Amino acid sequence: MPQFLEFNCNLETFIEELQTKLTTNNETIQELLQEKQKTYKNFVKPLEMMEEELEHFFTPLSHLNAVNNSDATQKVYTDSLPIITEYSTKLSQNVEIYNAYKEILASEAERLNYEQKRVLALNIEHFEQSGAHLDDAVKKRLEEINLRKSELSNNFSQNLLDATNAYEYIITDIADVEGIPQSDLEAAKFEEDGVEKYKFTLQMPSYIAYMTYGKNAKIREALYKAYVTRAPENAKIIEETLALKDEMSKLLGFKNYVEYSLKSKMAEDEKSVLNFLESLLKDSKNQAKEELKTLQKMTPEPLRSFDTAYYSEILKKEQYAIDEEEYRPYFEQRSVVHGMFDFLNKLFGIQFSQVEEKLWHEKAFSYDISKDGKVKSRIYLDLEARDSKRGGAWMHNWQAHCINLEGEEQLASAFVVCNFPASSDTNPSLLRHDDVVTLFHEMGHAIHHLLSDVKENEVSGVNGVEWDAVEFPSQFLENFAYEPAVLKMFASHYETGEIISDAMIDKLVKSKNFLSAMGMLRQLEFSIFDMKIHNGVYTEQEVQDTLNSIREETALIKTPEYNKFQNGFAHIFAGGYAAGYYSYKWAEVLSADVFYSVIDEGIFHSKTAQKYADIILKNGGAKSMQELFFELMGRDPDTTKLLRLNGIL
């Protein structure tokens, strides 16, 4: 029976264990460097597996800090960051390892397979982007920068989480909650001093509920203002982060952080990315203006930022007779999960079987994934919102598929985390269709990692995939959450068992691109801001001025001056999307192109779907995505498919 790691993180001993492991690793590195005749087998592979095992140890702490955040996890995680960052920086700047990798690539070129060559090529590039070839003074400064950047990133996230958890809006007047869906009301309701009250917070399920259905504009504005002014202290973190990234990039020989970031991506340069984004803006803007005109008809008052979700829901009901609350009973969380598993079984021939094991929370659960009767990987799901969990949704890999030093197969594992409405003894977790789309999206990331057959862990699954291609598999899968044949597999009423009707599906499909051009402009605003803010050093005011100038082209409704969206833009200031947020749109081009090929072939009889599994999923990061895409489709990506997907062409 395949062995998967037991989820375990002893906070009391973690720092001591980490220091011991890093000491051992450093000793191992020195021993390996003594090898007179260094080869892939006796030098590269041991280093690869050493880093893999460190990932096995450290991941549970970072995961726990994100999903069960507490004073204890914060302290241990914060204390561990400088230790792991110093180690990682020194390793990435080790000129002896860098030179050894170059020598091995040259001397063993004819004997190495494409996976091994890719490992070496990516490592050499990484060493050069870390300054391994530079003098000691520069490397010392780069080490200081990396340490400070990791601290700032952690502080940014923690400030955001603390601000989100600190805010609540208490409603006592029943008239102010009229129209709120019953399940959301139940979640908000509490009793104090014999009086029934309702609490709304900045946690996504609660915030979205009032912004979408709450009739009181003053309350909507209060919630909106609280949301877009969270963590004002992050403004100074942004200033310092940008300055450090710029300094780092220049020390490494790049013009700015954008040039540094794009070195390891599919995109050629800043100009090509901005041209791509601005062409989408040009193609989408007229339709977005027409959508806004239609939306404005819902109210005689000029629309404001905190009105759009509320009046959009009214317009959506009017145009498509869609009531999200009508759909939620058909999307009970467990039913959706199991239906998604059935869909993946039909599309790719994989099976899911639940595992009984103790995890970090009672609402978390795990499944083994099998193909042709053989267990291939394990997935961990933690899907419900709670105060101790960071907002949003994500996939995080833990183990990578590979062949270890003993020649044995190591299977892959990964976490999928979401923030869906919480279930209770009396209320199931009923999802919005948007939640279903989110689940499919994160599952797309997960199977990209979990179905890899690559033997080298550093290019297995999502490892080694260019950042502007990493969203391709997730967006590809999420598109199926609108397909009637797929919805019929799991959308049944949790009380009656009634399958969702064709009429309901038809309305859902037709509403898919509701206000899609306005949504496109919003995403383009984020992407253009990300590219422009990372091409230099900016003060807090200059950051705001840059965003304001972009909004003149992208924001059709004037944004309030108090809106400090950037202070909550964790993707680029506390995540991996700095000078890479455009990746969502570029990956959407790849995903739309392949998706329509599968649809045109009938989904479950699609040869493209099988080729996708055999080429994209199996190969992970072992080849450039540009190469894999061409191998799959026989041509370059067709950008018009993205506009078709969004109903803009």
Give catalytic residues, as residue numbers. 442
| DSSP type of residue 558 | P
Give the Cα separation of 562 and 573 in Å (integer): 20
Q: At what angle do helices 114-130 and 95-107 cross, to 10 degrees?
A: 150
| Closest to 267 measured CA to CA, from 625, 649, 645, 634 | 625
- Residues in CB range of 414: below 8 A, 6 or more apart: 377, 379, 380, 395, 396, 397, 398, 445, 446, 449, 450, 461
Q: What letter represents residue 207's amino acid?
A: Y
Structure tokens at 539: 């003060």
Torsion sign across C-alpha atoms 597, 599, 602, 606: positive
Cα angle 535, 540, 542 (rounded to 5 degrees) comes to 55
Torsion sign across C-alpha atoms 90, 95, 97, 101: positive
Alpha-carbon distances, residue 380 vs 67, 298, 312, 369 (angstroms): 12, 43, 35, 11
Give the Cα separation of 133 and 252 in Å (integer): 9
By DSSP bridging, strand 189-192 and strand 195-201 are antiparallel
Note whether 43 and 119 are within 8 A (CB). no
Q: Please write down the long-range contacts of 82-88, taking CB distance under 8 Å and 24 or more positions apart.
A: 82/147, 82/150, 82/151, 83/15, 83/18, 83/19, 83/22, 84/18, 84/22, 84/58, 85/146, 85/147, 85/150, 86/143, 86/147, 87/22, 87/25, 87/26, 88/146
Give the Cα separation of 582 and 528 in Å (integer): 8
Q: What letter represents residue 175's amino acid?
A: A
Give the Cα separation of 172 and 195 in Å (integer): 8
Give the Cα separation of 43 and 46 in Å (integer): 6
Give the Cα separation of 124 and 131 in Å (integer): 11
Structure tokens at 351: 């099976």
User: What count of Cα atoms within 13 Å lies in the side-chain half-sphere of residue 250?
Assistant: 11
